[in-house]
Structure 1
Amino acid sequence: MCLQRQLQELQLIQHSLLPGESFSFTLPPEDSRIWHSLLDSFSSTDATSASTIAIGPTSIPQAKFEVRVSDAQLRFEVHFPERYPEDTDIDNAQAPSVSVNGDDISREKHYKWRAFVQQKLSEVQGNDFPIYQLICMHLLPKIHEELSGIMDSPDEQDPKRPLETAYYHALLTSHHLVSPAKRRSLQRWSSELSICGFAKVGYPGVIYAQGAQENVEEFVSNIKSMQWLALKVRFVEPIDLGSDEHHQSWTEFQKVGEVVEEMKRWGRDRYITEMGIGSLGLK
C-alpha cells in the first residue's frame, strides 16, 4: 500500500508540472532506473495492481527526488521514507523530508525558504497527497512569483495590475474539477493576475474570482480556452469592493457547503444561492 501511494503521488507531481519545471530522481543510476521502471509500469497498469509490479518490495530503494524551475537558483529535494505515507505526523520518523538547496543563495534567503517550507508542510498535513500539495500548490507558484518580481522593472507599472481600475468578480461552474493540471493552472493564473477567490474541486466544479476588470476577464478567458465538461459562466460583472477585509489568495474547497460558508463570510452568498448552488444543486 505504501508503494502504491508513493507512486500515485509521484505521478501526480510529474503530470502537474508546467513548462520550465522539472522532476528528477537524486539517486544512484541503478536506483533511479528502478523508480523510473516502477512509474512506467504503474502508469500502464491498474492502480490496484501496483503491488504486482515486477520488482519486489525489499529491492526498492527509498525514493529521493528534486523539483526545480529553470532560471531559479534554488531547488527542492524530497525524501520518502520506506513506510511513507503511514504515520506521517510532521515529527514522525516516517514523515517525508523536504530540503532547500541551491547555488549562490544567501544564508538569509535559505533560512526564509526553509521556514516557508516548514510552515506549508505543517499546513498540508492530513491531505491525501501532502507533498504534491506542498510542491505544486505552494512551492512552485512561490518560485514563479519570485522570478516574476525579479524580471519586472521597478520603474514600470505592470499593465495587469493597474493602480486605479474597476473591480469585477466572476462565477463559473462545471460538471467536475479534478484535473491536477487545471488546478495548477488556476493557481498560477490567480497569482499572475492578482486574482483572489477559490475553486471547489470534485463534483461539481465551482470557480469564483475577483480582481481588476481586465484581469478577471483574462482569467475567465483562460478557463474557457481549456476543455471542460458542461462549463457555464454564470456571470462576469462589476463589484464594489469598498472596505472589504476578506481579500485573500487562491483557495481550494472540497464541499459545496464550504463554498456557501465562504460566500456568506464575504457577504455574497446571494450570488450563489440565487443560482441554486448549495440548496437545490447546480441548475
Structure 2
Amino acid sequence: MCLDSQLQELQLIQHSLLPGESFSFALPPEDSRIWSSLLHSFNTSTATTLSSLPNPVPQVKFQVKTTDARIFFEVQFPERYPEDSDVDTAQVPFISVNGEGISRDEHYRWRAFVQEKSAEVQGDDFPIYQLLCMHLLPKLHEDGYSVDTAGTMDIIEQQCTNRLPETADYHALLTSHHLVSPTKRRSLQRWSSELSISGFAKVGYPGVIYAQGTQENIQEFVANVKSMQWLALRVRFVEPIDLANDEHHQGWTEFQKVGEVVEEMKRRGRDKYITEMGIGSSALQ
C-alpha cells in the first residue's frame, strides 16, 4: 500500500534526525492530526481505525529544518507515491527550498543541488529519506555550521595547548550523521590501540565517538577522524579532563543504541556531556 510505504519513509526520516534537526507537518491542523495519528500508530505498532479517517487520506506535506541554517526543506508526497512514481511524473514528490533572506542565486544553487541529488537517489527504495538525510541535511550543516565551528574549535584547542602541559589528559566527543562503514570502525579501533586511547563508538544512525587519553594523542585521534569523509561530522568538544582516579579509561567499545551511550557515560560520571547536547533524548531512543 502507498500509505504504508509513505509512513515507513517518514519513520526513517524521523529516526535519522540528529540533535538540532527537526521534522514537522506543514498541513492544516486537522490534516496534521490525521498524519500524526497515523505515524504514531505506525511507530508504536498499535492499530489505527482507518474507518475514522477520510478517504482518501490527505496528501502529506512536511518540513525538515536545522537550527544552524536559514534554509529548510518542504516535501509533499503525491497520493499514489511511491507506487506510480516510476511511470507517472505527477506522482513524484515535490521538494521546495525555503528560508528567510535567501538570495536568488543562493536559491538557484540549492535547487540545482536538489535536482542533482534527486537524480542520484532515483530508484532507491526510500529516495526522499536518502535525499534528505544523506545529502541535503549534511550539506546544510557544512554550509551553515562546520566551517565556523572548525575555526572556533581550533582556537579552543590552541588555547588549551598554551596553558596546559603536554602530559595533560583530554577527552573528546564527536557526532556524525551515521557511522556504518567497516573501514571507519576498524580505523577507530586501530587508532585507539596505537594512541593508547580509551572510549567507544556508537554505530548506525547517528554516529557518536567518545575518546579519552593524553592531550597529544587525543588531538591526533581527532585529527585522524576529521581527515576521513563524513556526513555532518561535528566536533562537540576537545577539552582537559582529570583521569587520575578514573577506573574506566581502558579499552575501546562499540555500541548499537543511543541508550547504551547514555548508560556508559553515566557509568563514567559524564552523562551531562551527552544529555546537554540533546543526545539521548526521546526522539533518538
Which TM-score applies when normalising by structure 1? 0.56
Secondary structure of the 1:139 match is helix
Shift of 1:87: 2.4
Is there any run of 5+ residues in structure 2 with no aligned partner, and where? 158-174, 205-226, 232-285
Counterpart among 193, 203, 208 of residue 183 in structure 2: 208
| Alpha carbons 2:34, 2:53 under 8 Å: kept | no
Residue 177 of structure 2: aligned partner: 184
In structure 2, distance between residues paired with 1:222 and 1:119: 41
SS in 2 for 1:99: strand
Residues 1:89 and 1:75: Cα distance change in structure 2 (over 3 Å) = same
The residue aligned with 1:93 is 90
Question: Deviation digits for residues 233-269 of structure 1, max 9, x if unmatched?
Answer: xxxxxxxxxxxxxx99569xxxxxxxxxxxxxxxxxx
What amino acid is aligned across from residue 7 of structure 1 in structure 2?
L
Corresponding residue number in structure 1 for 2:220: none
How far apart, in 1, do the equivalents of 2:87 and 2:18 lie?
Answer: 28
What RMSD in Å do the two structures reach over aligned CA positions? Answer: 3.9
Cα distance per residue 1:120-173 (max 9 Å; x no partner): 01100111100000001111111111121244449x6897xxxxxxxxxxxxxx
Q: Which amino acid aligns with 2:119?
A: S
Structure 1 residues 223 and 127: alpha-carbon distance in aligned structure 2, compared to 1, 3 A threshold = farther
Of residues 143, 147, 150, the one that matches 1:149 is 147
Q: Greater helix share, 1 or 2?
A: 2
Give 1:255's aligned residue.
Answer: none
Change (3 A) 1:42 1:213: closer
Question: Any runs of at least 4 consecutive aligned residues in structure 1 with deviations exceeding 6 A, and if so which?
Answer: 212-216
Aligned to 2:43: 43
Please list, as runs of the form range in 1=range in 2, the aligned pairs for 1:1-283 lying within 5 A after superposition. 1-45=1-45, 53=50, 55-56=52-53, 58-89=55-86, 92-146=89-143, 147-153=145-151, 184-186=177-179, 199=181, 207-209=182-184, 224-226=200-202, 249=229
Tell me if the contact between 1:120 and 1:138 (Cα under 8 Å) persists in the aligned partners.
Answer: yes
Consecutive unaligned residues in structure 1, runs of 5 or more:
160-181, 187-197, 200-206, 229-246, 252-283
Partners of 1:64 and 1:79 within 8 A in 2: yes
CA distance in 1, matches of 2:40, 2:126: 20
Higher relative contact order (CA 8 A, sep 6+): 2
| Pair 18,86 (structure 1): closer, same or farther in 2 beyond 3 Å | same
Q: Secondary structure at the match of 2:102?
A: coil
Q: How many equivalent pairs are there?
A: 189
Partner of 1:237: none
Alpha-carbon contact 1:63-1:79 (below 8 Å) kept: yes
* Structure 2: distance between partners of 1:101 and 1:222: 43
Identity of aligned residues (%): 54
Which residue of structure 1 lines up, in the alignment, with residue 273 of structure 2? none
Per the alignment, in what secondary structure is the counterpart of residue 33 of structure 1? helix
Deviations 1:172-231 (CA, angstroms, capped at 9, x unpaired)? xxxxxxxxxx99322xxxxxxxxxxx83xxxxxxx1139x9999659xx89943279xxx
CA-CA distance at 1:59 after TM superposition: 4.1
